[in-house]
Chain A
Amino acid sequence: MPVTLQSKTLLPETIANLLGLSGVAGDIVGGVIGAIIIANLLLVQTAVAGPWAKRKITAAFTNRIAVNRIGPFGLLVIVADSVRLLSKELIIPENVDRPAWDLGPLIIPFSALLGFAVIPMGNGIHLADPETGIVFVFAVSSIASVGLIMMGYASNNKFSLLGGLRAIASNIAYEIPLVVTAASVIIFTGTLQMSEIVAQQAQPLFSIAGVTIPQWFAFVNPFAFVLFIIANLAEVGRNPFDIPEAPTEIVAGYQTEYSSVYFVLIYLGEFIHIFLGGAIATTLFLGGPAGPVLPGFIWFTVKIWMFYLFTQWVRSAIPRLRVDQFLDVGWKGMLVLSFANLALTAIIVGVIR
């Protein structure tokens, strides 16, 4: 067995032990408290990413200053914006299809948060480690598509409907390359369990001048990594793949009719989805929480923020494609390349073994 970076105890167990509980009660209390901790960690990060970091990053790319008036570096704008957004009127248009219209914005953040249940974040912050971990992540993060189409269809607005349809089209077109590329990693690891995938990446790939390069799959198969990142970008609907929202074309797509709290929930969901995308990429390709000197959780956070920064960079630097060109790239480019990658990986792995 390889040396694991992961402590063998999961977060709920640790909490139960700390509280001196055992058995079913320990499982339940530990699980609930652990989930609350992880969810809040993410909500805090989202709060920083949404109202503050996004503005700062975009401003840096477009030669502007952005928020700098309230608090140090303008950080207190997060508080101001939260109050502002939550105190706005929640407009419910006539003839919307309730409760589907209300459920849509709830599904999106929760599907993303569910995915984090199986992500190993280092330092024992790991809620559950089922044998089918990676499948679970893809399954729950795809539930968001249901939320999108519910919103698009229930809003009784044609721009919403168009946005919902576009969201589904893009999710189908890019979900397949995403999963197929992830499968090429599974061929290396031979397991779907997240902790195992992370553990295998800790093995040394080669050493140069005393520095050991670990066997991160981004180094082993950079091509798959690039494919995965692109498909991931489309999956979270960021530019140049923000076709479902496309403000200049279809106003705001599926979220046109949402205001106030629902608007916040949708944006919350989108940011958590970006972080989940980063977390999956980190776990599959970047050694999870592994890294020198600093504790694992810090490394994990740094890695998912790098992915976030990357999405914002791309957003500021690459124009949006047209919807048909976007689907062309997905079906004719990404799909073919991801299957080629899968087949090649399978052959190479087969020959080596």
Chain B
Amino acid sequence: MSLEEPEPSPTAVAEPPSTGDEIAELLDGLVIDRESHLNAPGMVIRPDSVQVALRRLRDNAGFDHLSCVTAEERTDRYESIYHLTSFDDRQREVSIIVPVPKDNPVSESAAPVFRTADWHEREAYDLVGIEYDNHPDLRRILLPETWQGHPLSLDYDQDRPQIVTLSEWENPLAEDHREDEGDTMYVNIGPHHPATHGVLHVKTVLDGEQVADVDPDIGYLHRCEEQVCQSKTYRHQIMPYPDRWDYASSGLLNEWAYARAAEDLNDIEVPEYAQVIRTMGAEICRIASHMLAVGTFALDVYGDFTAIFMYAMRDREKAQKILEDLTGQRMMFNYFRLGGVVWDLPDPRTEFFETIRDFLDELPQALEEYHDLISSNEILQVRTIDTGVLPPEEAKSYGATGPVARASGIDYDLRRDDPYGYYDQLEWDVVTEDGCDNFSRLLVRLREVEESAKIIDQCVDLLEDWPEEERTIQSNVPRTLRPEDNAEVYRAVEGAKGELGIYIRGDGTEQPGRFKIRSPCFSNLQTLPEMSNGEYIPDMIASLGSLDIVLGEVDR
């Protein structure tokens, strides 16, 4: 088949194509139509040429990051959109649009080219109902196997009862007894297990103490977040929901993801003063989130050694207090607005700045304690170095981002590579480690806390000196926002866990026609089998902890 033919790559040497025309030329003969998304050129291709197109883009044009797959049922067709970008140059983007007819919604799978497409296409199949040819394992992913219908499809009957009798439902213990003569043992780790960080179910096959196979089973915390957002208006109603995706202190980072996509879609400017406040708030959230990640990871590895967890919670609490002062809330901030933030810094400002400065001053000593307790502990090093190894190539193929990717030596951070907010005007570094193992992921988080502290410090400096008359917290945004019909945008921010992307398609009304969340945890969790097959159970648990997933964001 032509799919397997090696592509001639004269273009690889030259400047990689980034404009629509250059990409269309590269995809010569495959493109049947062109579209224009706000963030990238869109290439419409036939459903049977997905693999050849993606492979050509990956190998010849450096589009090595399949950030997201959005699927949708339109009135006349089904559509899958592959949002491609590059780890080396995040601002080069292209959307590959694959329409399939209503009566036969079958599209070629991208999973052989990008392994991250595996789960993304399963989700598209589950929720929208597109089938993917050649997919390695096309099962439902969020909903139970017995679910009738596809909830995001247009003719979905919401009133249809989904009651499944016990006899019809697969006996959850049935797999317990498979392979009577085999040497392996099947164990359900979760959904109720001390180390799964939420309701995650890891179907594990053990060979003695070693992991032969793991299959994360997600969806226990699926709350239809995408559909909720599709039924709310852009201006005010959507903003509270992002706080509920990654609820472990990443609220402002999530809000920023929606704000960024919606502001680009509606062409809204954000005043500089608000950008600085956003940047500061987001980085405090990142510190709080990393503290929790480090504390729970140590708990997973250390067992009853709860001291480090208490220390991490103590420092996270300080960050929480600052966020509470800033937003009035501890978890569900709802602080950002399209075009700025909801209110200015709390009065008296000097006291607020003092609190932040105190926090930043104490942070180096706290981090020193963490290094004493965790990263320089020999037993922890024995436990974590060279376990849960995720080589960079695998990480890229799985679409791993955030600290997970950076610990595999991938120098990729949206704050620098696709600048937003005030990041490009501040002095800070992207942290990478080359170890690819659990220990590196721990180190990356600890070091990122230092970088975040640097950013916050500079933001406080800026805010202190900001002239009073120029403190505009919101730009003038119309009461109702109605982006044009078929205006499409995919924008991402660097969340605490990685690349948090939002795809919105406007349909001419004040509610999104399609709202898709690209969750970093979802893609990162997909790497678990890669990291833990062949390792011991404790290492699998440690790897799971080092991924720092929040199930609210995985399942959405």
CB under 8 Å from chain A, chain B span 183-212 = 185, 187, 193-195, 206, 209
* Interface flags, B29-63, vs A, CB<8A=1, else 0: 00000000000000000000000000000000000
A240 lies within 8 A of chain B by Cβ: yes
Q: In the complex, A249 Cα to B382 Cα: how many Å?
A: 17
**Minimum-distance CB pairs A-B, first 9:** A320-B303, A248-B195, A319-B302, A62-B307, A62-B310, A319-B379, A322-B538, A248-B300, A158-B187
Q: Which residues of B contact A63 (CB under 8 A)?
A: 307, 310-311, 314
Q: A321 and B537: CB pair below 8 A?
A: no
Residues of B whose CB lies within 8 Å of any CB of A are 185, 187, 193-195, 206, 209, 299-307, 309-311, 314, 377, 379-380, 382-383, 536-539, 541
Q: How far is the CB of B405 from chain A (nearest CB, A)?
A: 25
A61 and B383 in contact, given A248-B300, A319-B377, A323-B536 (Cβ under 8 angstroms): no
Distance, CA A249 to CA B299, complexed state (A)? 11
Query: Which residues in B have their C-beta under 8 angstroms from that of A316?
Result: 304-307
Q: Does A40 have its Cβ within 8 Å of any Cβ on chain B?
A: no
Take A319-B377, A319-B380, A324-B209 as given contacts and tell me if A239 and B305 are in contact as well, using a CB distance cutoff of 8 Å: yes
Q: Is the CB of A242 within 8 A of B310?
A: no
- Contacts A58-B306, A162-B206, A240-B303 known; list 17 others, CB within 8 Å: A58-B304, A62-B309, A63-B314, A158-B185, A162-B537, A239-B303, A239-B304, A239-B305, A247-B194, A247-B303, A248-B541, A250-B537, A315-B304, A316-B305, A317-B307, A320-B303, A324-B536
The reply to whether the CB of A64 lies closer than 8 angstroms to some CB of chain B is yes
Mark each residue of chain A from 311 to 338: 1 if its CB lies under 8 Å from any CB of chain B, else 0. 0000111111111110000000000000
Chain A residues lying within 8 Å of B195, measured Cβ to Cβ, are: 247-249
Complex partner residue of B307 from A61, A158, A251, A322, CB under 8 angstroms: A61
User: Can you report 16 residue pairs joining A to B where beta carbons are below 8 Å apart?
Assistant: A58-B304, A62-B306, A162-B206, A240-B379, A242-B303, A247-B195, A248-B195, A248-B299, A248-B300, A248-B541, A251-B194, A315-B304, A316-B307, A320-B301, A321-B383, A322-B382
Our pick among B206, B305, B310, B541 for the contact of A319 (Cβ within 8 Å) is: B305
Q: How far is the CA of A246 from the CA of B538 in the complex (A)?
A: 9
Whether, in the assembled complex, A307 has its beta carbon less than 8 Å from a beta carbon of chain B, the answer is no
For B309, the chain A residues whose CB sits under 8 A away are 62
Partner of A318, one of B209, B305, B536: B305
- A162 partner residues in chain B, CB cutoff 8 A: 206, 209, 537
Chain A interface size band reads 20 to 34
Residues in A neighbouring B377, C-beta threshold 8 A: 319
Known: A242-B304, A247-B303. A318 touches B379 (CB 8 A): yes
What total of A-B pairs shows CB separation below 8 Å? 86
* Chain A residues with CB under 8 A of B310: 62-64
Interface bits A227-246 vs B (CB < 8 Å: 1, else 0): 00000000000011010001
Give complex CA distance A4, B235 in Å.
Answer: 89
CA–CA, A31 and B187, complex, Å: 49
Residues of A contacting B303 in the complex (Cβ-Cβ under 8 angstroms): 239-240, 242, 246-248, 319-320
Using known A-B contacts A319-B305, A319-B383, determine if residue A249 contacts B314 with beta carbons closer than 8 Å.
Answer: no
The reply to whether B305 and A317 contact each other, CB–CB distance below 8 Å, is yes
Q: Determine the chain A residues whose CB is within 8 A of the CB of B382 once the complex forms.
A: 321-322, 325
Residue B379 contacts which of A61, A158, A315, A321 (CB distance < 8 angstroms)? A321
* B306→A322 contact, CB < 8 A: no
**C-alpha gap A319/B305 in the complex (Å):** 6
Please give, as numbers and ranges, the residues of chain A lying within 8 Å of B206 by CB-CB distance: 162
Instruction: Using CB atoms, name the residue of chain B closest to A250.
Output: B537
Determine if A323 and B209 form an interchain contact, defined as CB atoms under 8 angstroms apart. yes
Residues of B within 8 A of A240 (CB): 303, 379
* A247 nearest CB neighbor, chain B only: B194
A247 neighbours in B (Cβ, 8 Å): 194-195, 303-304
Determine if A249 and B379 form an interchain contact, defined as CB atoms under 8 angstroms apart. Answer: no
Minimal beta-carbon separation of B535 from chain A (angstroms)? 10
Q: Give, as a whole number of angstroms, the nearest-CB distance from A153 to chain B.
A: 14
The residue on B at minimum CB distance from A240 is: B379
In angstroms, Cα B311 to Cα A323, docked, is 27
Most buried by B among A58, A158, A249, A324: A249
A61 to B304: give the CA distance in the assembly, Å: 12
Measured in the bound complex, the distance between the Cα atoms of B187 and A322 in whole Å is 19
Docked CA distance A162–B187 (Å): 10
Q: How far is the CA of A159 from the CA of B306 in the complex (A)?
A: 23
Chain A residues near B300 (CB, 8 Å)? Answer: 248
What's the Cα separation between A250 and B536 when bound, in Å?
12
